[in-house]
Amino acid sequence: AGAFADSATTTGIVLGGATAVTGAAPAGVDEVSALASANTAASAADLLTTEARAQVEQIVFGSALLAAAGVYEVTDISGGVRFV
């Protein structure tokens, strides 16, 4: 359960900074500044997409671990009953 809370916290932190990294204003009025700003925003959007996918994978992995833990617990319980 802690991994899910950590994942949600990380997602909140990353999304909290999304506007700052994707909405950077150009440093000047020239074309190069506008292109640099657009490239930075595109790279930041790509990073945010990658982060979102990573968080989904972490949740899937955590769910699989919880399911495996449940199987072990049931096995332990049934084994304990059998040998008592």
Identify which has the larger pLDDT, 27 or 3: 27
- pLDDT confidence of residue 1: 57
Confidence of residue 36 (pLDDT cuts 50, 70, 90): very high
Does this model's pTM top 0.75? My answer is no
The pLDDT score that the predictor gives to residue 10 is 78
Give the whole-angstrom CA distance, residue 52 versus residue 11. 7
Rounded (10°) angle between helices 2-16 and 31-83: 170
Confidence of residue 84 (pLDDT cuts 50, 70, 90): low
Mean pLDDT for the stretch of residues 28-53: 90
What radius of gyration, in Å, describes the C-alpha atoms of the chain? 22
| Stretch 43-55: mean pLDDT | 89
Instruction: Tell me how far apart the alpha carbons of residues 66 and 41 are, in angstroms, rounded to a whole number.
Output: 37
